[in-house]
C-alpha cells in the first residue's frame, strides 16, 4: 500500500541523533549541525565556512568555478553576473516556455497508459530549463544532455571517498563519466562561442557572456550547474508534488480551483521533501556552537529534512497540511534551497517551474496513483528511487 507520507530512514537517523545529543552530533568523519538554531548560525556566519572543499565531489560535473563550489570574492562576482537573469521579472518571461514543455509532455499520454511521472516530468523539466535559461538551440539537444549528464550524476551520487577512489584508479565508471563530460563540454563551448559572436541565446547565457567578465570555463561551469542541478532537483520535487496531489483526499480538486492553495501545496511538498536532504560546509577556522568546539577543517553537515520534520517547529510534522502555510516560517525554519549567501540562485525559477508544470497537469483529468512502494533515494537530491507510477485517466 502506498504510504501517506514517505520517510527516509537515513535522514530519520539524523533526527534521532538530534533528539538524543542536541544540535551538534559527531558521526564518523562528519560533524552534524542540526535543527533551526544551527541553520540560523550557519547562515548568519558564512565567514566561518567554506563551500569549495565541502563540495569537491561535485566538481566532475559542475566544474571548479561553479557557484556551488565558489567562495569569497569569486562567488560574489559570479553570483552578481548570474543573478539579474533570474530575478522575478525575468522568470515571468520564461513561463510560456515552461508551460509549452509541460503541455507537450502531457499531450503524449494515452488513456489507461501506465506512466512513471517522475521520468515524464524529468524530461519536460530538463527541456524547459535549458530552453528558458539558455535558448531554443541548446534545448534541441535536451535528450543529449540528459543521457550524458546522467552518467555524471550517477558518478557523484556516490560517497566522496568512492569518487576519489574511482578517480585515482581511473576505474571504468570514472572514464565513462569523463567521456560524457567531454561530450557535454564540447556542446556547451560551441553555444558559448555562438553567444559571444552575437548569436541567439537564452537570458542566462546572454548575461554570462556579456562584457567578457567571465572566462569560457566560468561560463561553462555555470551553464552545466544550472542545467544539471536545475532538472535533477526540480524533477524530484515535481514527483513528490504529484504524489501529494494524488495521495491526499481533496488536495487535487482544491489545488485545481485555487492558485493560492496550489502555492501552499508546493511549499508543503518542499517542506516534507526538500530537494537536498543534507548540505555541507567545511569549517574555515575554529569556532564554538552550542557549547561544542569545532576544529578548523571539520567537515560539517546540516539538514533541511531534519528541521522540516521537527514537531517544535512544525506541529504534527508528518501530516501533509497545506493549510499550515498561513504562518510564514523564518528562513532558518524553512530552507528547501539552503540559505545565507549561498542560497540556491535558481530557487525562484525552480518554484515557478514546479507551479507551472503542476497547473498544466491539474487542467487534465486526474490520473490514478497505483499501489506501490515509494522509496526515497539520494541525499543531495531526494527522489523516488523506483519512480512514481500512475495510470492516465481513461
DSSP letters spanning 74-129: HHHHHHHHHGGGGSHHHHHHHHHHHHHHHHHHHHT--TT-EEEHHHHHHHHHHHHH
- Rama region for 19: left / alpha / beta (φ>0; ψ in -120 to 50; rest): alpha
Distance (Å, whole) CA 208 – CA 291:
44
In this structure, which CATH number among 3.50.50.60, 1.10.630.10, 3.40.50.261, 3.40.50.740 belongs to the domain 60-276+319-391? 1.10.630.10
Q: What is the pLDDT of residue 90?
A: 87
Q: What is the pLDDT of residue 18?
A: 97
- Rama region for 267: left / alpha / beta (φ>0; ψ in -120 to 50; rest): alpha
584508479: which residue's cell? 169
The SS3 of residue 206 is helix
pLDDT per residue as tens digits for the range 184-205: 999 999 999 999 988 877 888 9
Q: What is the pLDDT of residue 85?
A: 82
* 301 neighbors 270 (Cβ within 8 angstroms): no
DSSP state letter for 329: P
Distance (Å, whole) CA 224 – CA 220:
6
Concatenate the DSSP letters of all residues of 250-291 into one string. THHHHHHH-HHHHHHHHHHHHHHS-S-S-EEEEESS-EEETT
Strand 376-377 and strand 383-384: pairing? antiparallel
| Chain Cα centroid distance, residue 264 | 19
| Chain Cα centroid distance, residue 295 | 29
Strand partners, 177: none
Concatenate the DSSP letters of all residues of 151-187 into one string. HHHHHHTS-HHHHHHHHHHT-HHHHHHHHHHHHHHHH
pLDDT along the chain (394 residues), means of 10: 82 95 95 98 96 91 93 92 86 94 97 97 96 92 96 87 90 95 96 89 86 91 92 96 97 97 98 95 97 97 97 96 96 96 94 98 98 91 95 91
Q: Read off the C-alpha cell for 358.
A: 503542476
Q: What is the pLDDT of residue 142?
A: 96
Distance (Å, whole) CA 184 – CA 165:
23
| Chain Cα centroid distance, residue 62 | 14
Residues 6+ apart with CB under 8 A from 326: none
Q: Is 255 exposed, middle or buried (0-12, 13-18, 19+ CB in 10 A)?
A: buried
* pTM score: 0.95
Amino acid at each position: 500500500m502506498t504510504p501517506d507520507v514517505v520517510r527516509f530512514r537515513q535522514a530519520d537517523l539524523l533526527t534521532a541523533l538530534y533528539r538524543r545529543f542536541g544540535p551538534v552530533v559527531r558521526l564518523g568523519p562528519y560533524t552534524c549541525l542540526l535543527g533551526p538554531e544551527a541553520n540560523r548560525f550557519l547562515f548568519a556566519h558564512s565567514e566561518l565556512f567554506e563551500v569549495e572543499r565541502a563540495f569537491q565531489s561535485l566538481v566532475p560535473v559542475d566544474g571548479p568555478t561553479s557557484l556551488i563550489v565558489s567562495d569569497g570574492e569569486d562567488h560574489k562576482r559570479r553570483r552578481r553576473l548570474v543573478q539579474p537573469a533570474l530575478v522575478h521579472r525575468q522568470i515571468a518571461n520564461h513561463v510560456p516556455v515552461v508551460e509549452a514543455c509541460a503541455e507537450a509532455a502531457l499531450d503524449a499520454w494515452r488513456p489507461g497508459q501506465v506512466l512513471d511521472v517522475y521520468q515524464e516530468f524529468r524530461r519536460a523539466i530538463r527541456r524547459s530549463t535549458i530552453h528558458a535559461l539558455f535558448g531554443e538551440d541548446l534545448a534541441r539537444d535536451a535528450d543529449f544532455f540528459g543521457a550524458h549528464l546522467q552518467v555524471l550524476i550517477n558518478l557523484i551520487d556516490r560517497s566522496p571517498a568512492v569518487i576519489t577512489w574511482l578517480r585515482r584508479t581511473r576505474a571504468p565508471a570514472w572514464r565513462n563519466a569523463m567521456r560524457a563530460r567531454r561530450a557535454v563540454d564540447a556542446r556547451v563551448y560551441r553555444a558559448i562561442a555562438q553567444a559571444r559572436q552575437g548569436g541567439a541565446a537564452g537570458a542566462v547565457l546572454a548575461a554570462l557572456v556579456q562584457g567578457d567578465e567571465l572566462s569560457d570555463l566560468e561560463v561553462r561551469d555555470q551553464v552545466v550547474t544550472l542545467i544539471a542541478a536545475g532538472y535533477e532537483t526540480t524533477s524530484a520535487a515535481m514527483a513528490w508534488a504529484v504524489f501529494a496531489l494524488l495521495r491526499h483526499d481533496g488536495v487535487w480538486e482544491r489545488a485545481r480551483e485555487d492558485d493560492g492553495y496550489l502555492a501552499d501545496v508546493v511549499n508543503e511538498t518542499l517542506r516534507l521533501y526538500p530537494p537536498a536532504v543534507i548540505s555541507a560546509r567545511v569549517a574555515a577556522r575554529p569556532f564554538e556552537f552550542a557549547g561544542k568546539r569545532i576544529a578548523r577543517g571539520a567537515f560539517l553537515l546540516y539538514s533541511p529534512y531534519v528541521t522540516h520534520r521537527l514537531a517544535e517547529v512544525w506541529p504534527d510534522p508528518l501530516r501533509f497540511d497545506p493549510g499550515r502555510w498561513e504562518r510564514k516560517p523564518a528562513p532558518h525554519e524553512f530552507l528547501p534551497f539552503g540559505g545565507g549567501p549561498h542560497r540556491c540562485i535558481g530557487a525562484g525559477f525552480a518554484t515557478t517551474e514546479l507551479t507551472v508544470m503542476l497547473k498544466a497537469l491539474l487542467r487534465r483529468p486526474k490520473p490514478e496513483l497505483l499501489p506501490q512502494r515509494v522509496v526515497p533515494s539520494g541525499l543531495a537530491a531526494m527522489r523516488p528511487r523506483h519512480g512514481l507510477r500512475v495510470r492516465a485517466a481513461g
